[in-house]
Amino acid sequence: MSEQREGGCLCGSVRFRTAGPCRPVMVCHCRQCARWSGYLIAATAVPAESFEILDGADRLRWYRSSGTAERAFCTICGSSLFWRPKDNNYVAIMAGVFDQPSGLKLDCHVFVGNCADYEVIADALPQHEGYPVTYPEWS
């Protein structure tokens, strides 16, 4: 059987599945993710065709967070769930919403140039000032 993962929001209304490999997890320190999550987001990603909503599509709302992307949350419990670019070729998924064990691996920090003044990065993972240009979108 090919690699599969499932997850969902806090209240269980929204459930999803990914098929195939997930991108290593990036911790994002940008200001949009800070406001959206309350602190930081850690996210993996898969190509759009490897992502499927199993349940609760009607309770999911997509919010246009910038000119180039939108973010999805559960309208019942408010969980921050997904991020996708305008052209919708892949979906980033918050690492914390996967069922455990997820088998995901933390890989690096991005947008560390935008860290808030209270943030502490206490691991030895690579830190990128912005989004690493050489980093593949999801592989």
Residues that bind Zn ion (CB under 5 A): 9, 11, 13, 28, 30, 33, 74, 76-77
Q: How far is the CB of 77 from Zn ion (least distance, A)?
A: 3
Give which of 139, 136, 106 is closest to 121, Cα–Cα.
106
Contact between 53 and 16 under an 8 Å Cβ cutoff? The reply is: yes
Q: What are phi and psi of 30, to 5 degrees?
A: -75, 160
65/102 with CB nearer Zn ion: 65
Q: How far is the CB of 3 from Zn ion (least distance, A)?
A: 25
30/112 with CB nearer Zn ion: 30
Q: How far is the CB of 30 from Zn ion (least distance, A)?
A: 3
22/74 with CB nearer Zn ion: 74
What is the Cα–Cα distance from 10 to 70, expressed in whole angstroms? 20
76/115 with CB nearer Zn ion: 76
What is the Cα–Cα distance from 14 to 81, expressed in whole angstroms? 9
Q: How far is the CB of 42 from Zn ion (least distance, A)?
A: 10
Q: How far is the CB of 14 from Zn ion (least distance, A)?
A: 6
103/121 with CB nearer Zn ion: 121
Give which of 18, 6, 10 is closest to 74, Cα–Cα.
10
